[in-house]
Amino acid sequence: MLPVLYLLPLLPLIGFALLMVFPRLFPGKAGGWLATGMIGAAFVVAVLRYLGQGAVPAQETLWTWLPNMALNANLSVGFYLDQLSALMALIITGIGFLIHLYSISYMSHDAKFTRFFAFLNFFVAMMLILVLADSYPLMFVGWEGVGMASYLLIGFWFSGRGSESSDKDIRAAGEKEGVNNSNAARKAFIMNRIGDLGFMLGMFLLYKLYGTLSIPELATRVEGVSVATAGVELACLFLLVGAIGKSGQLPLTTWLPDAMAGPTPVSALIHAATMVTAGVYLITRSHFLYELAPNASLWVAWVGGLTALYGALAALNQHDIKKILAFSTVSQLGYMFLAVGVGAYSAGVFHLLSHAFFKALLFLAAGAVIHALHDEQDVRRMGGMRKFMPFTHIVSGIGVLAISGIPIWSGFFSKDAILAAAFETQPVLYIIGLIVAVLTAFYMGRWYFLVWRGAYRGFEATGVSHPHEADTITKIPLGILAAGATLIGFLNVPTFLGGGHAFDSYLGRAIPQEAHEIAASTEWLLTVMAILAGVIGLLWAYSQHRAHKLDNGPLGQFSSSALYLDNIYDGLVAAPSRGIAGALDTVDRGTDGLIGSISRNAAAPGGLFTVWQSGFVRAYAVSMLLGTAGIIGYWALKLVGSGG
């Protein structure tokens, strides 16, 4: 007997409710353990459901929810488990569990420890709803739910950590941090909302075309009902806007680097491993639509390619240990979009899987370093950390090798598959992908050398003379993730390397696969090119390291201010809309004033009558007399006139 699907989101949701409503029941670290336990239980459910998968996708419907949005019926809340969602559920609960565990140590000194875990649990619940939803609106629930969780967690330190301090300087710094954190949270939510509008419009159009928003129903309707291609293309473009917003792709990318204002486990879980990949999931889930919309797919691929390039360029000269990783996430997500855009859904999802491992690993390692250096995040004030934190150093090295695409680590297999798919269909995108691979290896090499190698430079800034190694609770997730980042690649060894495409054929049962037509010799060539790109990038970083020129990466200000995208948006969108809001307010009060003056003018003749109301009783008596006299006179005249 398999556990029911709704248990997956329900378990973390119970954790969230308990921790929010009865925080006092969980003193000390009990809340953290409860939350971790809930995710662990959800992971067990996910594993059981994964093992018990039948040939047909499971669909479990709960209750009616939205009016008229299924085919001639009301839409129900329902969960859907096929190979794709089973895999996503495993990633979310598995990596989520590890990051929860890590947070118990990482957040242990925070005053709002219990609330942090409540929010994390809420996030996992929403993410599970997102991937298990059997209809677009339900997916949208998770979609906005994770946005909400992301908002809460980016703004977790909303008032700044030192703002209640009595020391003036610490207080001022805390206030500034509070404003920055709050702004980052708000920016993330609003930019996500722009994407959400696209998602919503996509749903509206799909409903108009097919009359249902249930995904399985849509999948069958798409085959049966023929509609104008333009309509499907437009719907796919709308969905793409949604995916862009959630996954931080161009042009809605600038919130993701700012989101690093949240605690590091949040960056690892939400802004690297799971939430930001929701866009990739959405497009993969809607593959049956994108297959009918070649132009929209091409757009997806180009958005991905350009974002990959953008993220890599912006990462070259960052100085914040987390910002480098954030831009790297942007860039890697671009790879995934590129893959799903050219129809290589399996390659995209595989990269999602391996990226979840190595990026979570890198973030958690960065968090350990930040902790050891008492919240110092500037890589220029680190260096030589391998002496102090040998274990973290090794796992970070594994992460860097994985993301740089060095064989045998997972990034090599997944990135190679994407590049091969791009080579087949869009050679220009392939070239971009290859350049990005070189840049990726370089900036990750720079990250590695600045943090771990060379001499320790942090003493003056941080006052920490001897950073301590991470504790055991921190090491366990790091170790497991490092093992994953190393071994996950072997799930999908391509044929020409003697493998069986195990992952592709598993996912292929849910998402149809494109046939591989590349000759083995070409494949070899591509693989060698990919490896070369990684090696060149790392060597470049190493040579710069030897020359002590890594502090400032290439491209200077252009890169460190993220290609000025933020400034452009602030000038073009944010400032004008604030201005318009002010102007409209004036207009609104003005409209009011206009109507007011019309009414005053209309009321003016009424003033004449008030003269009559003199307040003198005797004047009223005269009026009455005159009035009576007038009436009598009228009748008298009439009587006389008629000769009566």
Partner 1 sequence: MVPTSYYIALSGILFALGMIGVLTRRTAIMVFLSVELMLNASNIALVAFARSWGDLTGQTAVFVVMTLAAAEVAIGLAIIVAIFRKRETTNVDDLAAMKG
Partner 2 sequence: MFDPQWLPTIMIFLPLLGSLLILITPGRWRDEVAGFMAAVTLGLGLMIWYAGGSGLLSLNWIPALGITYSVELSGVSLALAMVTAFMSFIAILYAARRIPNPGTMLALILAMETGLLGIFAARDLILFYVFFEDALLPSLLMLAIYGKAHRMRALVKFAAYTLFGSLLMLISIIGVRYLGGSPTFALVDLKQHLVTGPAQTWLYLGFLTAMAVKLPLWPLHAWLPDFHEQNHDSGIPDVMGTLYKVGGYGLFTFAIPLFPDASLELRPILMGLAAFTALYSAWIAFGQKDWKRLLAYAGLSHMGFVALGVFSLNETAVIGAMYLLAFQNLYTGALFLSVGMVQERIGSLDTRVGGLMTGAGALGGMTMALWFASIAVPGMAGFIGEFSVLLGAYQVSPWLAFVAGLTVIAAAAYALTAFQTTFWQSRPLGGVVVRDLVHTEWLILGLPLAVAIFFGVYSAPALNLMQPAVKSVLAAVGGN
The interface partner of residue 43, options being partner 2, partner 1, none and the CB cut-off 5 to 8 Å by kind, is none
On whether the CB atoms of residues 342 and 351 are closer than 8 A, the answer is: no
Taking the complex as a whole, how short is the minimal distance between the CB of residue 335 and partner 2, in angstroms? 28
Give me 393's structure tokens.
């150093």
Contact flag: residue 68 with partner 1 (CB under 8 A):
no
The interface partner of residue 388, options being partner 1, partner 2, none and the CB cut-off 5 to 8 Å by kind, is none
Give me 512's structure tokens.
């149809």
On whether the CB atoms of residues 185 and 151 are closer than 8 A, the answer is: yes
The interface partner of residue 167, options being partner 2, partner 1, none and the CB cut-off 5 to 8 Å by kind, is none
Cα–Cα distance, 85 to 285 (Å, whole number): 9
Cα–Cα distance, 239 to 234 (Å, whole number): 9
Number of residues that bind partner 1 (CB under 8 A): 13
- Choice between 228 and 611, CB closer to partner 1: 611
- Choice between 515 and 611, CB closer to partner 1: 611
Which position among 56, 455, 604, 617 is part of the footprint of partner 1 (CB under 8 A)?
617
The interface partner of residue 380, options being partner 1, partner 2, none and the CB cut-off 5 to 8 Å by kind, is none
Cα–Cα distance, 218 to 66 (Å, whole number): 16
Contact flag: residue 637 with partner 1 (CB under 8 A):
no
Measuring CA to CA, how many Å separate 338 from each of 418, 522, 619? Answer: 8, 20, 92
The interface partner of residue 612, options being partner 2, partner 1, none and the CB cut-off 5 to 8 Å by kind, is partner 1
Contact flag: residue 610 with partner 1 (CB under 8 A):
yes
DSSP SS3 for 203 = helix
Element (H, E) at 80: strand 73-81
- Choice between 521 and 610, CB closer to partner 1: 610
DSSP SS3 for 79 = strand
Looking up tokens 């020391």, which residue turns up? 167
Looking up tokens 């709960």, which residue turns up? 62
On whether the CB atoms of residues 126 and 148 are closer than 8 A, the answer is: yes
Which position among 168, 224, 547, 612 is part of the footprint of partner 1 (CB under 8 A)?
612
Give me 81's structure tokens.
């488990």
Contact flag: residue 605 with partner 1 (CB under 8 A):
no
Query: Phi, psi at residue 378, to the nearest 5°?
Result: -85, 120
Which of 130, 87, 85, 102 is closest to 35 using CA atoms? 102
The interface partner of residue 141, options being partner 2, partner 1, none and the CB cut-off 5 to 8 Å by kind, is partner 2
User: Which segment (3-11, 360-368, 540-548, 611-619) binds partner 1 by CB under 8 A?
Assistant: 611-619
Contact flag: residue 618 with partner 1 (CB under 8 A):
yes
On whether the CB atoms of residues 215 and 277 are closer than 8 A, the answer is: no
Q: Which residues contact 496 (CB under 8 A, 6 or more apart)?
A: 520, 523, 524
Q: In terms of DSSP H, where are the helices of 373-490?
A: 385-388, 390-404, 410-425, 427-452, 459-462, 472-487
Contact residues for partner 2, defined by CB under 8 A: 20, 63-69, 74, 77, 137, 140-141, 143-145, 148, 151, 155, 158-160, 163-164, 171, 174-175, 178-179, 182-183, 185-186, 189-190, 193-194, 196-197, 200-201, 203-205, 207-208, 577-578, 580-582, 584-585, 588, 591-592, 595-596, 599
Taking the complex as a whole, how short is the minimal distance between the CB of residue 602 and partner 1, in angstroms? 18
- Choice between 72 and 610, CB closer to partner 1: 610
User: Which segment (124-132, 204-212, 239-247, 614-622) binds partner 1 by CB under 8 A?
Assistant: 614-622
Residues making contact with partner 1 (CB under 8 A)? 609-618, 621-622, 625
